[in-house]
A and B are shown apart, each in its own frame.
Chain A
Amino acid sequence: MEKFDKVISTAVPLPNEDIDTDQIIPARFLKATSKEGFGENLFRDWRFDKDNSAKKDFVLNDSTYSGSILVAGRNFGCGSSREHAAWALADYGFKVVVSSFFADIFKGNALNNGLLPVQVSDAFLAKLIGAIQTDPSTDCTVDLNDQTISFDDHQEHFEVNSYKKECLLNGYDDIDYLVSIKDKITAFEREAITI
């Protein structure tokens, strides 16, 4: 996994609430057996009409907005456990998703792929969206080490599990760790009553 430290970038606003993983990547694009190329179909049915032409009113087709930070409405990533949603966002070029609430499985999947979910207050989210919409060149800074997100003169602290933070900063993942404690796991299997 790539190391994550600090991101300074303009941001893309997508204020819809309850954005589910079927919107992020529709099921019909889950037929691949590798992790690559999902960015092409990110938000497929919001981005393109049925003739595959870009829908002008969708934010990813609006050249006013760009950057590696996606700012979305609350309950982002609800629905299916498909990790393809995190792969699609990362493959498209996003490094951070900001929302006031994330679905559990999506949050875990994002962290396992070096895509940082930053949960902020509703008030901060509204201010951030407002600032980007007023001035799309607004830079937003996400500092994992300090666990802060800031823009203009606003700043907020965000939570991240300390173990996952270490993993992100160093580019480790859970497999490395779990495989390293195989002896403990084997001992557990011997001692615990599992059926």
Chain B
Amino acid sequence: MGKTLFDKVWDAHIVHQIEGGLDVLYIDRHLIHEVTSPQAFEELKERDLPLFRKEKMVATPDHNIPTKNQHLPIKDALSKHQVDTLLKNCEEQGVELYGLGHPFQGIVHVIGPELGITLPGRTMVCGDSHTSTHGAFGAIAFGIGTSQVAQVMASQCLLQAKPKTMRITINGELKQGVLAKDVILYIISKLTAAGGTGYFVEYAGSAIEALSMEARMTICNMSIEMGARGGMIAPDQVTFDYIKGREFAPKGEEFEKALDFWRTLYSDQEAVFDKEYNFSAEDIAPMITYGTNPGMGIKITENVPQHLGNGSQDSFLKSLSYMGLEPGESLLGKEINHVFIGSCTNSRIEDLRIVADYVKGKRKAKHVSAMIVPGSKQVETQAKAEGLDQVLAAAGFELREPGCSACLGMNEDKVPAGAYCVSTSNRNFEGRQGPGARTLLASPLVAAITAVEGKIVDITAHLN
């Protein structure tokens, strides 16, 4: 029987199997940030345990940092303490750290790939559910809790039950104006916010193969929003070209050797998945969410449904009430006051280019506040080198410094209560972008057009 891509990578990392069906899984790279690591460092200290493989760890602050004036001391005392604690822990324990101002600093899921830390066939974890992003390279990457962060620190391993496998195949050609974000919002709207729970997903098909690495990352990033622990895409020439020459990627002969291995990473023809879904790329249109979980998404031109699948009507109506929407309502024409472009889902250079390309020579609507937060220092530097900062500034967009920012409202970048925000981030949960904030998830293109129009529109009418 053939093996799936997931099986190949997982099985190669099993150190030991124990009763009850749990595997001791070896972890190749461990990314840490300021919010979910301090208690883990503390745990090790209390038990008098050293870091087992500190050279396999990389740290950066991203969740709880300001996106303005990063060269100045952090104003919020608790945030400062948390970021300082990461610095102190890394310094004491000898962990590689890219702190504020460092040219490699950024959102942990943006810097891993851009530095060549994320490689096909690797197992990677981080105390953050969007670790699924790295699966775009054919790595097994998933989010973990802080107890598990401590376990990996102490042993470079985790005790895990092997998830079931799911393949989602999308064949065909995406229509104009349909981006990777629309693809994943469409998939989640079909599978629901719990449809992937218990599974590890592989995305396949001609529409996926045609995507850039950054677009593939957007798709894998949101696997967790349907409950799946992670998402993967088989590495191909697009992947290898992306990796080549990156800071920590294998070089020269090592790269060639790695290539031989990476080329074995695909699902065998006869491999059997526990679940399979097939979609046509042509059926996907620009998407937007209307509710308080990412499964509550519609094509931008569709009306809010009357109910949600088999879910409880009570929960559905509570969600709509929070959003200030009615069943059956159209979102077209809805006035929007906030636009947020950023997060580990959509803050890479291609996302910034899409926005800049659209807003060039245009101006955001007067009543809209439009914030664009690059995913990393490298993205920020690249954007400036291409003059995107000038284009964005001329269009009235505020370009910030890198961080998670208004995706989760941990720092001061928040959306006011009751206000609508069209956001390129990954979660539209109640209060996610600030208490009472109403988030509508969409692609960077939809976000850019919304900022210019000041309301939700059928974007196809605005494309050349």
Residue ranges of A at the interface with B (Cβ–Cβ < 8 Å):
15-18, 20, 22-23, 26-28, 30-35, 45, 50, 73-75, 78-84, 86, 101, 103-105, 108-109, 112-113, 161-164, 173-175, 177-179, 181-182, 184-185, 188-189, 192-195
Residues of B within 8 A of A18 (CB): 193-194, 292-293, 311, 315
Interface of A is mostly: loop
Most A-side CB within 10 Å, residue of B128, B145, B198: B145
Interface of B is mostly: loop
Residue ranges of B at the interface with A (Cβ–Cβ < 8 Å):
12-13, 15-16, 18-22, 24, 26, 28, 35-36, 38-39, 42-43, 47, 49, 52, 63-64, 76, 78-79, 81-82, 85, 119, 121-122, 127-129, 143-148, 150-151, 154-159, 161, 163, 193-194, 197-198, 224, 227, 229, 250, 258, 261, 292-293, 311-312, 314-315, 318, 408-410, 417, 427, 429-432, 435-436
Residue of A nearest to B79 (CB): A31
List 18 contacting pairs A-B, 8 Å CB cutoff, sorted by A.
Answer: A22-B431, A26-B409, A31-B76, A34-B38, A34-B42, A78-B194, A78-B197, A81-B129, A82-B35, A82-B145, A163-B22, A174-B159, A175-B43, A178-B151, A178-B157, A181-B24, A184-B16, A189-B156
Residues of A within 8 A of B311 (CB): 17-18
Q: Does B143 contact A105, Cβ atoms closer than 8 Å?
A: yes
Q: Does B194 contact A75, Cβ atoms closer than 8 Å?
A: yes
Most B-side CB within 10 Å, residue of A31, A50, A188: A31
Closest CB-CB distance, B49 to chain A, in whole Å? 7
With A112-B145, A161-B20, A178-B154 given, is the CB distance from A50 to B417 under 8 Å?
Answer: yes
For the complex of A and B, the 4 pairs showing the least CB-CB separation, nearest first, are A83-B145, A109-B145, A163-B20, A178-B155
Q: Does A175 contact B38, Cβ atoms closer than 8 Å?
A: no
Residues of B within 8 A of A188 (CB): 15-16, 26
Q: Does A174 contact B151, Cβ atoms closer than 8 Å?
A: yes
CA–CA, A20 and B319, complex, Å: 13
Q: Does A26 contact B431, Cβ atoms closer than 8 Å?
A: yes
Residue of A nearest to B295 (CB): A18
Q: Does A83 contact B143, Cβ atoms closer than 8 Å?
A: no
